[in-house]
Structure 1
Amino acid sequence: MDKKESNNQEDKQLPGTLIDTDENCPTPDQPHPHHHHHHHRSSSINATPSLIELHIHLDGSFRHSTLFELAQKKGIQLPNGMESTMENFLPYICIQSTCQSLAEFLTKFPFFTPIVAGDIEALERVAYEFVEDQAIQGVLYTETRYSPQFLTDNKLTPEQVIEAINRGLQRGMKEFSVDVRTILCCIRQCPEWSMEVVNLADKYRSAGVVGIDIAGDEHNYPIGPHVPAFKRALELGIHRTVHAGETGSAESVREAIELCHAERIGHGYAIIDDPSIYDLIRRNDIHVECCLTSSIQTNAIGKYIPKDSETEEKHLVIHGHESKTRLHSHIKSKKEIWHPIHHFARDGLNFSLSCDDPSVSQITIEHEYEHALSDLKLTPAQLTQCVFNAARSTFLNEDEKKILVQRLISTYIPSTIMENHFQNNNTSKTTLSQHV
């Protein structure tokens, strides 16, 4: 890439999960551009949709500018009387480079979730903006997950939360041509919610809910109390994915598969520690949802990082000025195979890349693919395989999956080649039939 092209890349408009430019960051007394039928940011959507994202939390994808605007509108103050500026606000909603654990990563959510929770208009808005941000990044299909109970703020019912989010998603899908489905999350520390989550997934399956998940602290909250809910989901034909082997052990992954009937595993990096569980994943073609940046920030892959590795850090730029907010950038190493994803790629496991919580991690899906390609040295072919792995592992029905895969094929493989392929195949079949 030459210098001129590089500069153009840096100048291009960023998705809303990152920092908006001045013109896109309204003051509290200005109407948000979202309220216009045609959002002016839609002009930046010009990529051919070609990515599939399966592990992305809706409540970890709120735009910084939206959170800041709503916080000011609702009079939510920063601690210790700190001045309410975007730069002071960011460290409370975003991960800093000093983050050392999943527990620390999760401390951001209690601050910013109440800004949106319990507010029907805000829930619809962030859902709509989520779809637009996915469109800007060239995502063709995504499954976003959230806990409806966490977003009630004791003001709404879980049903009202789901319906508000669905309205925003539907409006976004219609306007931005991205297909979105939702996964409802059980929470490890709240087993009393889990059966209700299954019932809600069943109730709203015709409204885009395609599965359930379980998220939270693997170390302190065992999966046992949630097993009846996942068994009920299996009986109802509701798809199941489970956060496991992120900061927990490989045994946590075995439990997810054998006790909760997981069809996909969120993160799952620990499986490289146990050959029997690694083989269980491979033999059963269980999909592993990998999130590279968050695995650094939660220290999920800390024990695998080689001693010769280099961590590159930079400061976040807000409105053209470098802030004090430090970003985790990428980890580079001279060792060829060290990250769990290297093992997955080498052995042809069914895995894909996702952002996890993009606005908390301050990343995009493009950032994750760039990291895999440039720093982890996965090949373009392996990354393409990731996209197709994700497509065949969605929680869509079989007919919808076939349509999705065909749309990807038309993007990744020139149409003339496909036409020739089918023509040659048809000719071969005709020739064969004439000789039988």
Structure 2
Amino acid sequence: MTAPRPQFCELHLHIEGTLEPATIFDLARRQRLQLPYADEAELAAKYRFTDLQSFLDLYYANMVVLRTEDDFSLLAQAYLDRAAAAGIAHVEMFVDPQAHSERGIAERVVLRGLQRAIDEAAERHGISASIIACVVRDQPVDSAERMLDAVLDSGVPVIGLGLDSAEVGYPPSLFRSVFERAGEAGLHRVAHAGEEGPAEYIWEALDLLGAERIDHGIRALDDPRLVQRLVADRIPLTVCPLSSERLRVVDDLAELPLRQMLDAGLRVTLNSDDPAYFGGYLDDNVEAARRAFSLTADELALLARTSIEASFLSDDRKKELLRAGA
């Protein structure tokens, strides 16, 4: 495995999306849980998707093996070990507390398990990580409100609130009140917008949710005025190349408008999204993008710098990472 150089931060990573078939079966054996798959190969064969919803159906079904604080710690530990081995400096991981609370698993159980793995990884590898709790947008608004209350009461230092899951039909405007409360509580705010949804969703995320980063955001190019806004306000976009290809957002990786986004002056970062399901972790996405778009060493360095600058790290930590990659 070739680590990406220079050093990158990963800003669009769903920790539940790092559940590899082997881990799913390992957790199921520990819990004496019968899975609806004969073996890992049968499950892996289902990791072929026609659209976002076909992915989400399997994604949420596989969460049945995540039950205890130890389960969530093991999940995050496996990802952070791999990220550190690939040379990743920092991760801001998404988690979907509502997907677990509806199964009777308290938010504090999820968050404490993740934080324990984060603390251990910092000691073992020197990699830093933080947690962004995401609103599952196809659940009711009052569910999101309750989730935010539970996250704020958990005692775990969650740094932000995000918005994810099925985009079409669930505009960011639905969750304005939740994000206003998150801002008042001092949380950073990010939102999935402009992947399968229209450019208008990006406007809403910026103007109604106060989003500081836009996750995916490739549909921004449909609106020249929006591009100007994103450039002027230096809003980062967390692009996920292999995810966009596997979910048929584009038919071929070469059709992803990464080159156009860079040429337009947009602040683009590369990320893996749900790497166990989409065939590649961050280093794999960097290499795939390098090959597909003939990225130069200077362009890769720019993408790495942008990932550091777009993070929610302290200014001192950003300067440290920027110096290390210079």
- TM-score, scaled relative to structure 1: 0.70
Alignment partner of 1:250 is 2:207: no
Q: State how many pairs are aligned.
A: 325
Partner residue, 2:142: 192
Conserved in 2, the CA contact under 8 Å of 1:201 and 1:210?
no
- Matching residue within 296, 317, 320 for 1:403: 317
Deviation per CA, 1:77-107, whole angstroms, max 9, x where unpaired?
454xx6x322122224xx32xx221111212
Q: Secondary structure at the match of 1:139?
A: coil
- How do residues 90-169 of structure 1 correspond to structure 2 at under 5 angstroms? 90-92=44-46, 95-96=47-48, 99-116=49-66, 118-152=67-101, 154-169=103-118
- Tell me the amino acid that sits aligned with residue 74 of structure 1: Q
Q: Secondary structure at the match of 1:227?
A: helix
Conserved in 2, the CA contact under 8 Å of 1:183 and 1:210?
yes
Deviation per CA, 1:206-237, whole angstroms, max 9, x where unpaired?
74411110101111223333110111222222
Q: Secondary structure at the match of 1:143?
A: strand
More contact order relative to length (CA 8 Å, sep ≥ 6): 2
What value does the CA root-mean-square deviation take over the aligned residues?
A: 2.2
Q: Secondary structure at the match of 2:159?
A: strand
- Matching residue within 159, 164, 170 for 2:119: 170
Q: Which structure 2 segments of 5+ residues have no match? A: none
Alignment partner of 1:296 is 2:250: no
Conserved in 1, the CA contact under 8 Å of 2:98 and 2:136?
no
- Higher Cα radius of gyration: 1
Deviation per CA, 1:148-189, whole angstroms, max 9, x where unpaired?
221246333112221122112212221121100110000111
Partner residue, 1:394: 311
Q: Shift of residue 196 of structure 1?
A: 3.1
Alignment partner of 1:66 is 2:23: yes
- Tell me the amino acid that sits aligned with residue 145 of structure 1: F
- How do residues 379-390 of structure 1 correspond to structure 2 at under 5 angstroms? 379-390=296-307
Partner residue, 1:4: none
CA distance in 2, matches of 1:198, 1:100: 32
Partner residue, 2:13: 56
CA distance in 2, matches of 1:215, 1:112: 17
Partner residue, 2:288: 371
Conserved in 2, the CA contact under 8 Å of 1:49 and 1:135?
no
Partner residue, 1:89: 43
Over the matched positions of the two proteins, sequence identity in percent amounts to: 24
* Structure 1, 67-76 or 363-372: larger mean CA deviation: 67-76
Q: Shift of residue 339 of structure 1?
A: 2.8
Q: Which structure 1 segments of 5+ residues have no match? A: 1-8, 13-45, 306-330, 333-337, 414-436
CA distance in 2, matches of 1:250, 1:47: 31
Would the alpha carbon gap of residues 119 and 202 (structure 1) be closer, same or farther in structure 2, given more than 3 Å must change?
Answer: closer
Q: Shift of residue 405 of structure 1?
A: 3.0
CA distance in 2, matches of 1:50, 1:75: 41
Q: Shift of residue 247 of structure 1?
A: 0.2
Q: Secondary structure at the match of 1:108?
A: helix
- Matching residue within 256, 269, 287 for 1:352: 269
Deviation per CA, 1:238-263, whole angstroms, max 9, x where unpaired?
11100000000011111111111111
CA distance in 2, matches of 1:48, 1:220: 39
Q: Shift of residue 271 of structure 1?
A: 0.6
Conserved in 1, the CA contact under 8 Å of 2:203 and 2:226?
yes
Conserved in 2, the CA contact under 8 Å of 1:137 and 1:364?
no
Partner residue, 1:340: 257
CA distance in 2, matches of 1:354, 1:282: 20
CA distance in 1, matches of 2:5, 2:265: 27
* Structure 1, 64-73 or 236-245: larger mean CA deviation: 64-73
CA distance in 1, matches of 2:320, 2:261: 25
Would the alpha carbon gap of residues 245 and 273 (structure 1) be closer, same or farther in structure 2, given more than 3 Å must change?
Answer: same
Partner residue, 1:42: none
- Tell me the amino acid that sits aligned with residue 58 of structure 2: K
Conserved in 2, the CA contact under 8 Å of 1:373 and 1:380?
no
CA distance in 1, matches of 2:6, 2:15: 20
- Tell me the amino acid that sits aligned with residue 45 of structure 2: P
Conserved in 1, the CA contact under 8 Å of 2:13 and 2:274?
yes
Q: Shift of residue 296 of structure 1?
A: 1.1
- Tell me the amino acid that sits aligned with residue 68 of structure 1: F
- TM-score, scaled relative to structure 2: 0.92
